[in-house]
Amino acid sequence: MREFKGRIVAPGTVTAEALVSHGGLNTLASFQKALQFGDKTATCGDQNNPDLYGKQMLGKALCLPQTIGSTTGGLVLYCACAMERQPACMLFSKPIDSLAAAGSILASVWLPDVKMPVVDSLGEEFLEYVKDGMSITIREDGTVCVD
């Protein structure tokens, strides 16, 4: 087991299976099927992300460097949470971008029954270590444990 310490963006604790992207997550392209076409498993629709394309994001510990794409990114994350089609958590190796931060923070404040803890600044070593299918646990203090 390895532990990584990050900064808490949206609080919460969770244990979930890792889903890893080594490239940026295009939020709109990734969640479009879930939000517009009723895909309840939030299958990633971003054809430009070979790590995630076609994989279910719902309930996974989404491990990534950052999000990319249009200014709708924050709203897309918020809507995914409102529709209960969000990852179990989002774990960023880099500092979170303002759009992803806005979406995840607004969801944590405005949707009290929906949880999607977010931790950023976990470092490049985090993304090098974690693999799809590993068990991830987020503790209250922002420590991320990878089994």
- The continuous run of DSSP H or E covering 129 comes out as helix 124-129
Which of 107, 29, 103 is closest to 70 using CA atoms? 29
Contact 67, 78 (CB under 8 A): no
CATH of the domain at 73: 3.50.30.10
Instruction: Report the pLDDT value the prediction gives residue 69, as an integer from 0 to 100.
Output: 83
Give the pLDDT band (50/70/90) at residue 71.
confident
Structure tokens at 102: 């806005």
Range of the domain at 69: 2-146
Q: pTM above 0.85?
A: yes
Number of domains in the chain: 1
Instruction: Report the pLDDT value the prediction gives residue 70, as an integer from 0 to 100.
Output: 82
What tens digit of pLDDT does each residue of 15-37 get? 999 999 999 999 999 999 898 88
Is pLDDT at 112 greater than 90 in this prediction? no
The identity of residue 114, as a single letter, is: V
Which of 1, 10, 21 is closest to 127 using CA atoms? 21
The answer to whether the Cα torsion of 98, 101, 107, 112 is positive or negative is negative
Alpha-carbon span 127 to 105, nearest angstrom? 23
What tens digit of pLDDT does each residue of 30-66 get? 999 898 888 999 999 999 999 999 999 999 999 999 9
